[in-house]
Structure 1
Amino acid sequence: MSVNLLDTANWLPLDGLAPGFDANKAPHSPDLAGRTITINASNGSVITHTFTEDRVIWAYDAAEGDPHGDERGDDSYEAFQVEEDLYFVQFHTQVRPLDAVSLVLDLKSGRSLTVVTIIDEEDSQGTRVKQLFDASTIVEVPTNGTAPSPSRALIGRRVLWVYSPEHAYEHIYLSPEWYTWQCLAGPEKGLADTDENTVYEIRPGIFVFAWREKVIPCASVTIADHRNVRSIRSHGALFGLDESGEVPTHFTFGAFGHLISTTVHPEEFDPAR
């Protein structure tokens, strides 16, 4: 008997997706080991990160009025080199098990983007898993160039993403707030939906793309180099709840992408305007 894919109760939980999904993940970069990276957040808070080969010891010193408060932690992390002097760092905080942190560290421009993904209460408005974005600066590197900023550059593109020999999806970037995904191969084959997204440009042609799903309680942060549209490379992490709805699940992955097509709207109907 076939499964009714239109019944979202049959959709795969986040932990059911994980096995094999990370086959195309890039290797962990040890380049940050022995370094301290201090981030000046836009609200004045200061977050210090000291890296070993596989641990990040961090200290959050909250500015006046920051509801986060002072906090300290020591967590395992993964770092991926996106380009020269550009790194994507992922860790799941143990002192705040409902939070996961994504750091984009540009050691050439002295700029960073922090994305905190937060599992909210079940009856919260909007998606269950939320995301906070903060473009900030790195104390140890002189600041230059352009700060990471929201971007509409992906709107109209349709991209094929291959995560493993068994997992493939396509993304259609619709507007500043929405994208559509469809599973072309893997355990979710035949599933599709339209979900919230946020896009930041980090360097020319390199984008952070983050999404928040409304059916499965999860969200993702990815960074992708779109400069060669025939050979796009991405790195990412998914964070949310397991099948029980109780246990936070966090894992990293990677994908190879290929631009399938680009939609060009008449100017008066262009969603990128």
Structure 2
Amino acid sequence: MTTTPSHTDWISVAGLEKGFATGSYALDNSADLTGKQVELHAADGSVRRIEFDQDQLAIDGGEAVKVRITSLRERVYLLDWLDERTRPATSYTVVLDTLTDSYTQVIGTLPTFDVIKTGLYERALGGRPLTDVKVDISHGAVNKPYSDGACPHAKTDELIGVRNLYRYSPTEVYEHTYLNENFYTWHCLKGVEQGLCDTDACHYYKIADELYLFIWREKIVPTLGIVMIDEQNHRSDGKIFGVGDTEDAPLANFPMASYCQRLADTEYPDDL
């Protein structure tokens, strides 16, 4: 019988990265887009041209940056990179859907240490969000002008009430319970955070049948998580982005992927 400790210390995102690195189930980079270029047409009419070269991309002919490109479903790609010219760095994640010629973009930023030091009690009484991890989520069209309905990716409630198990490596196992449209609970069953759990803000988008984009924003150790969940093939893939050990330490931005399975579905009585 496995027992969990009565007390577990919270660790930094850098510490979490070390735990996830050993035997990680993270997907290899996809080479499908190498040598290609796409145009991203936003709803506001702006257009960006992205050129791919192995594990790098360049936007509008600018300086190339390192990018991670993975694919859980054929012709649907998850792109992830950092813009380190901003302080703190800005996270860019794009679901590039070449099946429907559309995309969803998530831009994420982390709070400074001065903001992080504000206590949760003060935030709650002041009417502030408990997390200052920010995301901007938008949709657009690929290689064609944007029009209403051009992107079929949409908010969904299909995961609400689901309890899933995620095995990220032989040593790191978590469960998620998707509570409602704004919150979910994570619980570390095995690994460097064993015994820890919390309920955090989240966002759900349906990309295709049984394929979801899940985004969460943690409050205790400021963290942005972005993953694709493929319930058909029982896999997930994405990343975690968070602050370093100290104010001067580099930010963490590391890949994570899992073999996943559904544990339970919650059904509420009709007369609630």
Q: TM-score range, shorter-chain basis?
A: 0.7 to 0.9
- 1:35-184 pair list within 5 angstroms: 35-59=36-60, 72-96=62-86, 97-121=88-112, 122-123=114-115, 125-126=128-129, 127-139=131-143, 147-184=152-189
**Distance 1:145-1:40 versus aligned 2 partners, 3 A rule:** closer
> Is 1:251 the equivalent of 2:254?
yes
Partner SS, residue 20 of structure 2? coil
Alignment match of 2:207 (pick from 193, 199, 202): 202
Q: How far did 1:3 drift? A: 7.4
Q: How far did 1:189 drift? A: 0.2
Report the counterpart of residue 66 of structure 1 in structure 2: none
Distance, in Å, in 1 between the alignment partners of 2:115 and 2:150 is: 42
> Does the CA-based 8 Å contact 1:128-1:218 persist in structure 2?
no
**TM-score, scaled to structure 2:** 0.86
> Is 1:18 the equivalent of 2:11?
no
Identity %: 27
Distance, in Å, in 2 between the alignment partners of 1:267 and 1:75 is: 51
Unpaired segments of 5 or more residues in structure 2? 117-127
Equivalent AA in structure 2 for residue 50 of structure 1: E
> Is 1:185 the equivalent of 2:198?
no
> Is 1:33 the equivalent of 2:34?
yes
Larger RCO (alpha carbons 8 Å, 6+ apart) = 2
- 1:255-266 pair list within 5 angstroms: 255-266=258-269
> Does the CA-based 8 Å contact 1:75-1:94 persist in structure 2?
no
Moved over 3 A (4+): 2-5, 140-146
Partner SS, residue 256 of structure 1? strand
Distance, in Å, in 1 between the alignment partners of 2:190 and 2:16 is: 12
Partner SS, residue 28 of structure 1? coil
Q: How far did 1:266 drift? A: 1.7
**TM-score, scaled to structure 1:** 0.85
Equivalent AA in structure 1 for residue 81 of structure 2: F
Distance, in Å, in 2 between the alignment partners of 1:151 and 1:43 is: 24
Report the counterpart of residue 124 of structure 2 in structure 1: none
Q: How far did 1:141 drift? A: 9.8
Q: CA RMSD in A?
A: 2.2
Unpaired segments of 5 or more residues in structure 1? 61-71
Partner SS, residue 259 of structure 1? strand
Distance, in Å, in 2 between the alignment partners of 1:181 and 1:108 is: 32
Distance, in Å, in 1 between the alignment partners of 2:214 and 2:157 is: 11
